[in-house]
C-alpha cells in the first residue's frame, strides 16, 4: 500500500486533467457483502490512477424496487417486499461496516411514503418511479464509499442526481453535456481523493426533477462520467470474461472476443448483447476512450477491448438475438413509386414514440415490413391504420397486419463488408436447422445482417449460426434405434472417433438416446459411450419412440439425427414423420425405402417439407458405395441402363462354398448353425431380402416399382414355407438332387451358379438363381462378397463394378458412420 500511495498522484491539480480511469461494477459484481470485498481488491490491483467508480444496485435490487411500485399501483400490500429490501441492504451494511447503515431507515421511510401515495392514487408517475427504482444505486454507492474509507482510502461520493443532466429523447435519454460538466465541477469540486464513487443509473432533468438512464443504464453512466472526466479508459466489470461471440448462457461454446471495434460493439449491444447498454459507447467514441469489458471474478484476465479498429480472423464477431419482436407488414399498390409513403409510415410510428428495430422493403415497393418491440405492436398497427385510412378504404393498401412472437437474429462483424458468401452461409445455416425466415435486412455498412424468425427458434438458430461460422463446433443431437449387431458396433465406432472429430473437424456428435426393443437410455448432454451397455442394462427406461424423438429434436441443438439400425417395419414406417419434423434420418433398415410406392413418395415429400436428409447407403451392399455410385452416375448426366448383382452375403457365401461334393441342404444347416444366415434361413433363401434391395436400386434409377412387381424365384420350396426351421432344413434334403443337377449342368457349360438380382431401365426386374460364365465378374467372388455391375451409357462396353464384403456388423456399421459424416458435411462441418 505504501508503494500505491507514492504512485497515486493524490490531489494532483484539477479533477478534469488528471489520469482518471473509470471502473464500473454491475449488479452481478455487487450481489452481496462478499462481492464488495472483491470489488475493493480489484480496485486496489490498479495503482497509479485516479479511480472513478460507478456502481449498480445489488443484483436484482432494481427489479425488486420496480416490483414494489407495481404492487402499490395495483393496490396490493408492498410492505413485506419493502421490509425484505431493507433487510437485504441492512445485512450488507452490517457485514461490511458493523452496525452502521447511514440513512437507510430514512430512505426506507421515504420509499414507504411514496409507495403509499402510489397505492392511494392507483398509479405512480415518472418521477416517483425514477426515485424509487434508483434507490438501489444510491445505497450501493454509499456502502462502497464507506467501506473504502474504512479500508483507509481517500474517497468521496459524488451523487449523479446532482450533476448528470438528461432530457428524454427518441433513442433514450440525451445528455446535456455543458450543464453536466458545470454541475460536476460543483459537485466534485477539487476534492483530491483517490476514489470518487458515483451511483450509476440515476440522473436528473435540467428542471431538477429526478430521472434514470433506463434498464442496464449504469454502463451508460460509466461512459458519461468517463467523458466528463476525460478518462484514459473505462473498465466495465461484470460476471463474464468479456464480450463473447454469443450470450454464453445460451451458447455454451461462445468465444471470448479479445478486441472489437466500437461499431461492432454498438451493433451487438443494439441487437441484444446484454453485456453492454447500447448507448454506452456514444460518449466513449466521441472522446475516443477505450472501453474494456472485464470479469470481476477473474481480474487477471484481459477481457475485451473495445476501441477504434478491431482485429481477429473471423469475419463474424458475434451473433445476438432480440426477443419479443413483432413484425408489421404494410402491403399494397399505394406504395409503388409513391414518394413519401415511408415518411408517413415512420412519422406515424414516431408520433406514438415507437422505435423501429428493423426495416425491410422489397424492391418492388409492394410491401414494407418493420419490426418493433412486442408490447408496441398493437398501438403501431392502430397508428398506421389511422394514418393510411384512406388508402385502406380505397383498396390501395390491402392490409396492415402484425405478427407477434418473433425474434431478430443478427450477425455482426466489420470484416463482413465486401465479403461474398456470408449471407449465404448465414441463411443456409438457418435453413439446414429447419428454421423459417420471416424477413431479412442488411445495413449498407454490411456490418450486420438481421433475420426475423419465430421466437421459439431463437436459441436453436443462434447455435446453428454460431457453428456455421466456425465459432463453435457443429453439434448433432443423435439417437440410435437398435443396438444389436450393427447398432452396437456403430456406437463403439463412434466412441473411438469422438475426440478426434471434435479436435480436428470441429464436429460434436452427441449420442443422446439409445433404444432397443424394450428399453432405452436418454441423456441431456450425451450418453457416456464407454459404458452404454451397462447403463442401458441398469437404468434404461421403457422404450417409447415418441418420447425418444422429442428428446432428440431438442430446441437447443441445431441438428437432430435418428439412426435406424433395426430391421423393423414398424420403425421404418415412422421415417416419414421424423423427416417431416425436420429430423435427419440415417437407416440401415431397408423396410422404409422398399415399402409401397405411396409411402416412398411420402418419404420424398417429408424431406422436402422438413428440409431434412435421408441417407440409406447401407440398405444395399452394407458399407459398399452402391447407392452413392448410382447417384453420382445419374447426377453427372449418365444414363443407367441396367443394374445387376449379387446382393446377399449369405447366398454369395452358400454358392461360393457349393461345389457339388456336399449336399446343398447340409451347407444351409451349417451356415445357419454358425449364424451366417438370418435366424430363419428361409428369409435369405426366399430372395425377399434381395428383392427389397433391388427395389431400392430400381427406384433410385427412376423406376416406379413395387416389391410384388419383381419376378422372384425363391429357393424355398412351396411345401416348406411353413413349419419350424429344423423341419425346413430336413425337408430341404429332398431337393438336394435337383440342386445337384442344376450345378452339374452349369459346370458342364463352364458356368457357376449365382443368386442374382437384375433390373434394367423401364423393366420390372428379376431375382433368382442363374448360371454365369466362369470369367464373369459374378463368378470369381470371395466369401460374403457383394458385387454390383452398372451398365450405363458411359460405362457400356466395360461396365462399372463395385465389389467387396457386403455383410457383417463391422462394415455395415462403418457404412452407417460414413453416412453420419456425410450428413455432417452437408450441414457445413469440415469433415
Ligand atoms: P451486470 O450486472 O454486470 O451489468 P449484466 O447481467 O447486465 O451484468 O450483463 C452480463 C451478462 O450479459 C452476462 O452474464 C451474459 O449472460 C449476458 N450476455 C448477453 N450477450 C452476451 C455476449 N455477447 N457476451 C457476453 N455476455 C453476454
Ligand atoms: N440497476 C439498473 C438495472 O438493473 C441499472 C444497471 O444495473 O445497469 O437496470
Ligand atoms: Mg448490465
Q: What is the DSSP string of 141-198?
A: HHHHHHHHHHTT--EEE--HHHH-BEEEETTEEEE-HHHHHHHHHHHHTT---SEEEE
The pLDDT value recorded for residue 802 is 95
Q: Which ligand is nearest to the CA of 275?
A: 1
Please tell me the distance from the alpha carbon of residue 163 to that of residue 176, in angstroms, as a whole number: 10
Q: Which residue has the cell 446382393?
A: 647
In this predicted structure, the answer to whether residue 14 has a pLDDT above a threshold of 60 is no
Ligand 1, residue 239: give the atom nearest the CA: 14
Confidence at 115, pLDDT banded by 50, 70, 90: very high
Q: What share of the chain is helix, strand, coil (3-state, %, to 5)?
A: 45, 20, 35
Average pLDDT, the chain: 91
Q: Which residue has the cell 452402391?
A: 626
Sequence-distant (6+) residues with CB within 8 A of 150 are: 96, 97
The pLDDT value recorded for residue 665 is 95
The residue to mutate among 217, 220, 238, 269, having the most atoms of ligand 2 within 8 angstroms of its beta carbon, is 217
Q: Which residues line ligand 1 (CB under 6 A)?
A: 26-29, 56, 216, 238-240, 243-244, 246-249, 268, 273-275, 318
In this predicted structure, the answer to whether residue 599 has a pLDDT above a threshold of 90 is yes
The sign of the dihedral angle between the CA atoms of 631, 636, 641, 642 is negative
Confidence at 8, pLDDT banded by 50, 70, 90: very low
**Residue owning the nearest CA to atom 12 of ligand 1:** 275
Distance from the alpha carbon of residue 232 to the mean position of ligand 1, in angstroms: 24
Q: Which ligand is nearest to the CA of 240?
A: 1
Ligand 1, residue 25: give the atom nearest the CA: 3
Question: Catalytic residues, which ones?
Answer: 693
Pair type for strands 304-307 and 210-212: unpaired
Q: What is the pLDDT of residues 309-338, one digit of tens each?
A: 766 656 778 899 998 999 999 988 777 777
For the entire predicted model, the pTM comes to 0.68
The residue to mutate among 133, 172, 218, having the most atoms of ligand 2 within 8 angstroms of its beta carbon, is 218
- Residues 689, 696: contact at Cβ < 8 Å? no
In this predicted structure, the answer to whether residue 397 has a pLDDT above a threshold of 90 is no
The closest of 391, 376, 373 to 335, measured between CA atoms, is: 391
- Residues 728, 681: contact at Cβ < 8 Å? yes
Name the least confident of 191-195, 455-459, 678-682. Answer: 678-682
- Residues 55, 136: contact at Cβ < 8 Å? no
The pLDDT value recorded for residue 432 is 87
Distance from the alpha carbon of residue 201 to the mean position of ligand 2, in angstroms: 6
What cell does 605 get? Answer: 415429400
Ligand 1, residue 218: give the atom nearest the CA: 4
Q: Which residue has the cell 436528473?
A: 204
Neighbour tally for 726: CB within 10 Å: 10
**Residue owning the nearest CA to atom 8 of ligand 2:** 216
The residue to mutate among 136, 215, 221, having the most atoms of ligand 2 within 8 angstroms of its beta carbon, is 215
The pLDDT value recorded for residue 4 is 42
Ligand 1, residue 219: give the atom nearest the CA: 4
**Residue owning the nearest CA to atom 11 of ligand 1:** 275
Please tell me the distance from the alpha carbon of residue 819 to that of residue 584, in angstroms, as a whole number: 11
- Residues 451, 479: contact at Cβ < 8 Å? no
* Full strand arrangement of the beta sheet holding 507-515: 541-542, 519-522, 507-515, 474-481, 559-564, 584-587, 614-615
Q: Which ligand is nearest to the CA of 221?
A: 2
Average pLDDT, stretch 762-777? 92
**Residue owning the nearest CA to atom 6 of ligand 2:** 216
Q: What is the pLDDT of residues 509-549, one digit of tens each?
A: 999 999 998 999 999 889 999 999 999 988 779 999 999 99
- Residues 484, 533: contact at Cβ < 8 Å? no
Sequence-distant (6+) residues with CB within 8 A of 436 are: 453, 454, 457
Judge residue 364's burial from the number of C-beta atoms within 10 Å of its C-beta, 0-12 exposed, 13-18 middle, 19 or more buried.
exposed
* Whole-angstrom Cα Rg for the chain: 36
Confidence at 112, pLDDT banded by 50, 70, 90: very high
Confidence at 185, pLDDT banded by 50, 70, 90: very high
- DSSP label at 654? H
Please tell me the distance from the alpha carbon of residue 106 to that of residue 646, in angstroms, as a whole number: 93
Q: Which ligand is nearest to the CA of 57?
A: 2
CA distances from 580 to 261, 280, 564, 585 (A): 43, 46, 16, 10
Distance from the alpha carbon of residue 268 to the mean position of ligand 1, in angstroms: 12
The pLDDT value recorded for residue 804 is 93
Name the least confident of 9-18, 177-186, 619-628. Answer: 9-18
Please tell me the distance from the alpha carbon of residue 687 to that of residue 665, in angstroms, as a whole number: 16
Confidence at 271, pLDDT banded by 50, 70, 90: confident
Please tell me the distance from the alpha carbon of residue 41 to that of residue 23, in angstroms, as a whole number: 13
In this predicted structure, the answer to whether residue 7 has a pLDDT above a threshold of 90 is no
- At residue 112, φ and ψ (nearest 5 deg) are -55, -45
What cell does 192 get? Answer: 483530491
Ligand 1, residue 246: give the atom nearest the CA: 23
Which H/E stretch holds residue 199? strand 195-199
The pLDDT value recorded for residue 378 is 93
**Residue owning the nearest CA to atom 4 of ligand 1:** 26
Please tell me the distance from the alpha carbon of residue 415 to that of residue 417, in angstroms, as a whole number: 5
Distance from the alpha carbon of residue 218 to the mean position of ligand 3, in angstroms: 7
Dihedral angle over CA of 519, 525, 531, 534, nearest 10: -30
The pLDDT value recorded for residue 524 is 87
Pair type for strands 233-238 and 20-25: parallel
Ligand 1, residue 245: give the atom nearest the CA: 23
Distance from the alpha carbon of residue 352 to the mean position of ligand 3, in angstroms: 28
Distance from the alpha carbon of residue 65 to the mean position of ligand 1, in angstroms: 21
The residue to mutate among 215, 244, 268, 274, having the most atoms of ligand 1 within 8 angstroms of its beta carbon, is 274
Dihedral angle over CA of 550, 552, 554, 558, nearest 10: -140
Distance from the alpha carbon of residue 275 to the mean position of ligand 1, in angstroms: 3
**Residue owning the nearest CA to atom 5 of ligand 1:** 275
Average pLDDT, stretch 682-695? 94
Confidence at 761, pLDDT banded by 50, 70, 90: confident
Neighbour tally for 342: CB within 10 Å: 16
Neighbour tally for 142: CB within 10 Å: 23
The residue to mutate among 240, 266, 295, 463, having the most atoms of ligand 1 within 8 angstroms of its beta carbon, is 240
In this predicted structure, the answer to whether residue 3 has a pLDDT above a threshold of 60 is no
The pLDDT value recorded for residue 364 is 67
Neighbour tally for 607: CB within 10 Å: 19
- Residues 212, 134: contact at Cβ < 8 Å? yes
In this predicted structure, the answer to whether residue 6 has a pLDDT above a threshold of 70 is no
CA distances from 398 to 362, 392, 426, 462, 581 (A): 16, 6, 32, 34, 33
Please tell me the distance from the alpha carbon of residue 591 to that of residue 569, in angstroms, as a whole number: 6
Report the SS3 class of residue 25: strand
What cell does 647 get? Answer: 446382393
Q: Which ligand is nearest to the CA of 28?
A: 1
Please tell me the distance from the alpha carbon of residue 165 to that of residue 206, in angstroms, as a whole number: 6
In this predicted structure, the answer to whether residue 5 has a pLDDT above a threshold of 50 is no
The pLDDT value recorded for residue 314 is 62
Q: Which residues line ligand 2 (CB under 6 A)?
A: 26-27, 56-57, 62, 136, 200-201, 215-219
Average pLDDT, stretch 283-308? 94
Please tell me the distance from the alpha carbon of residue 555 to that of residue 237, in angstroms, as a whole number: 32
What cell does 439 get? Answer: 424477413
What cell does 9 get? Answer: 498522484
Confidence at 444, pLDDT banded by 50, 70, 90: low
Distance from the alpha carbon of residue 51 to the mean position of ligand 3, in angstroms: 20
In this predicted structure, the answer to whether residue 74 has a pLDDT above a threshold of 80 is yes
Total H helices, total E strands in the chain: 31, 31
- Residues 447, 261: contact at Cβ < 8 Å? no
The pLDDT value recorded for residue 764 is 84
Percent of the chain with pLDDT over 90: 72
Q: Which residue has the cell 426495416?
A: 359
Please tell me the distance from the alpha carbon of residue 156 to that of residue 11, in angstroms, as a whole number: 13
Q: What is the pLDDT of residues 432-441, one digit of tens each?
A: 888 999 989 8
Ligand 1, residue 257: give the atom nearest the CA: 24
Amino acid at each position: 500500500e505504501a508503494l500505491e500511495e507514492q504512485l497515486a498522484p493524490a490531489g494532483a491539480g484539477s479533477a478534469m486533467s488528471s489520469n482518471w480511469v473509470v471502473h464500473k461494477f454491475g449488479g452481478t459484481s455487487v450481489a452481496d457483502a462478499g462481492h464488495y470485498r472483491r470489488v475493493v481488491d480489484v480496485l486496489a490491483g490498479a495503482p497509479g490512477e485516479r479511480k472513478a467508480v460507478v456502481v449498480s444496485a445489488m443484483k436484482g435490487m432494481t427489479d425488486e424496487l420496480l416490483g414494489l411500485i407495481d404492487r402499490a399501483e395495483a393496490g396490493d400490500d408492498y410492505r413485506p417486499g419493502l421490509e425484505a429490501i431493507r433487510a437485504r441492504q441492512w445485512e450488507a451494511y452490517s457485514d461490511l461496516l458493523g452496525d452502521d447503515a447511514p440513512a437507510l431507515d430514512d430512505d426506507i421511510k421515504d420509499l414507504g411514503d411514496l409507495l403509499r401515495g402510489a397505492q392511494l392514487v392507483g398509479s405512480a408517475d415518472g418521477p416517483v418511479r425514477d426515485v424509487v427504482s434508483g434507490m438501489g444505486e444510491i445505497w450501493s454507492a454509499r456502502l462502497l464509499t464507506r467501506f473504502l474509507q474504512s479500508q483507509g482510502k481517500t474517497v468521496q461520493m459524488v451523487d449523479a442526481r446532482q450533476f448528470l443532466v438528461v432530457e428524454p429523447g427518441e433513442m433514450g435519454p440525451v445528455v446535456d453535456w455543458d450543464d453536466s460538466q458545470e454541475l460536476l465541477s460543483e459537485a466534485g469540486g477539487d476534492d483530491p481523493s483517490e476514489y470518487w464513487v458515483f451511483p450509476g443509473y440515476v440522473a436528473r432533468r435540467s428542471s431538477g426533477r429526478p430521472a434514470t438512464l433506463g434498464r442496464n443504464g449504469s454502463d451508460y453512466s460509466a461512459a458519461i462520467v468517463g467523458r466528463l472526466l476525460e478518462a484514459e479508459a473505462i473498465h466495465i466489470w461484470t460476471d463474464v470474461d468479456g464480450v463473447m461471440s454469443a450470450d454464453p448462457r445460451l451458447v455454451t461454446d461462445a468465444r471470448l472476443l479479445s478486441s472489437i471495434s466500437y461499431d461492432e460493439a454498438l451493433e451487438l449491444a443494439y441487437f441484444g448483447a446484454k453485456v453492454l447498454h447500447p448507448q454506452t459507447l456514444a460518449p466513449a467514441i466521441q472522446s475516443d476512450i477505450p472501453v474494456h469489458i472485464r470479469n470481476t471474478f477473474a481480474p487477471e484476465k484481459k477481457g475485451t477491448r473495445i476501441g477504434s479498429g478491431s482485429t481477429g480472423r473471423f469475419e463474424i464477431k458475434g451473433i445476438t438475438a432480440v426477443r419479443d419482436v413483432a413484425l408489421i407488414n404494410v402491403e399494397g399498390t399505394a406504395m409503388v413509386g409513391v414518394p413519401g409513403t415511408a415518411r408517413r409510415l415512420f412519422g406515424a410510428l414516431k408520433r406514438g414514440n415507437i422505435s423501429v428495430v428493423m426495416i425491410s422493403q422489397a424492391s418492388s415497393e409492394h410491401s414494407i415490413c418493420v419490426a418493433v418491440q412486442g408490447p408496441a405492436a398493437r398501438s403501431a398497427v392502430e397508428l398506421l391504420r389511422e394514418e393510411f385510412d384512406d388508402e385502406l378504404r380505397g383498396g390501395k393498401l390491402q392490409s396492415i397486419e402484425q405478427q407477434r412472437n418473433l425474434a431478430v437474429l443478427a450477425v455482426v462483424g466489420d470484416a463482413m463488408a465486401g465479403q461474398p458468401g456470408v449471407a449465404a452461409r448465414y441463411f443456409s445455416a438457418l435453413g439446414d436447422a429447419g428454421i423459417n425466415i420471416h424477413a431479412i435486412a442488411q445495413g449498407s455498412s454490411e456490418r450486420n445482417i438481421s433475420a426475423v424468425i419465430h421466437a421459439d427458434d431463437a436459441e436453436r438458430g443462434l447455435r446453428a449460426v454460431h457453428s456455421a461460422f466456425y465459432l463453435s463446433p457443429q453439434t448433432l443431437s443423435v439417437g440410435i434405434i437398435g443396438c444389436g449387431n450393427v447398432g452396437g458396433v456403430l456406437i463403439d465406432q463412434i466412441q473411438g472417433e469422438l475426440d478426434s472429430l471434435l479436435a480436428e473437424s470441429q464436429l460434436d456428435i452427441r449420442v443422446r438416446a439409445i433404444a432397443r426393443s424394450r428399453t432405452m437410455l436418454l441423456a441431456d448432454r450425451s450418453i457416456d459411450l464407454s459404458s452404454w451397455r451397462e447403463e442401458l442394462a441398469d437404468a434404461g427406461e421403457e422404450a417409447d419412440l415418441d418420447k425418444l424423438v422429442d428428446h432428440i429434436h431438442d430446441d437447443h441443438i441445431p441438428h437432430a439425427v435418428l439412426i435406424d439400425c433395426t430391421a423393423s417395419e414398424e420403425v421404418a414406417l415412422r421415417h416419414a414423420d421424423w423427416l417431416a419434423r425436420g429430423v435427419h434420418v440415417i437407416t440401415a433398415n431397408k423396410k422404409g425405402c422398399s415399402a409401397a410406392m405411396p409411402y416412398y413418395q411420402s418419404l420424398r415429400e417429408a424431406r422436402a417439407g422438413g428440409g431434412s436428409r435421408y441417407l440409406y447407403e447401407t440398405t444395399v451392399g452394407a458399407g459398399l458405395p452402391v447407392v452413392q455410385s448410382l447417384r453420382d452416375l445419374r447426377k453427372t448426366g449418365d444414363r443407367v441402363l441396367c443394374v445387376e448383382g449379387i446382393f446377399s452375403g449369405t447366398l454369395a457365401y452358400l454358392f461360393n462354398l457349393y461345389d457339388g461334393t456336399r449336399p446343398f441342404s447340409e451347407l444351409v444347416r451349417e451356415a445357419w448353425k454358425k449364424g451366417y444366415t438370418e435366424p430363419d434361413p428361409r428369409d435369405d433363401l426366399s430372395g425377399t431380402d434381395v428383392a427389397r434391395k433391388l427395389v431400392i436400386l430400381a427406384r433410385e434409377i427412376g423406376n416406379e416399382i413395387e416389391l410384388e412387381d419383381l419376378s422372384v424365384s425363391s429357393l424355398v420350396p412351396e411345401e416348406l414355407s411353413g413349419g419350424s426351421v429344423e423341419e425346413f432344413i430336413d425337408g430341404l434334403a429332398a431337393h438336394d438332387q435337383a440342386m445337384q443337377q442344376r450345378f452339374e449342368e452349369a459346370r458342364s457349360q463352364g458356368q457357376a451358379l449365382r443368386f442374382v438380382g437384375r433390373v434394367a431401365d423401364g423393366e420390372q426386374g428379376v431375382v433368382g438363381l442363374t448360371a454365369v460364365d466362369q470369367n464373369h465378374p459374378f463368378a470369381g467372388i470371395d466369401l460374403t462378397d457383394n458385387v454390383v455391375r452398372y451398365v450405363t451409357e458411359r460405362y457400356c462396353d466395360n461396365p462399372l463394378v463395385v465389389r467387396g464384403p457386403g455383410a457383417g456388423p463391422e462394415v455395415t456399421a462403418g457404412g452407417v458412420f460414413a453416412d453420419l459424416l456425410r450428413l455432417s458435411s452437408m450441414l457445413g462441418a469440415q469433415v
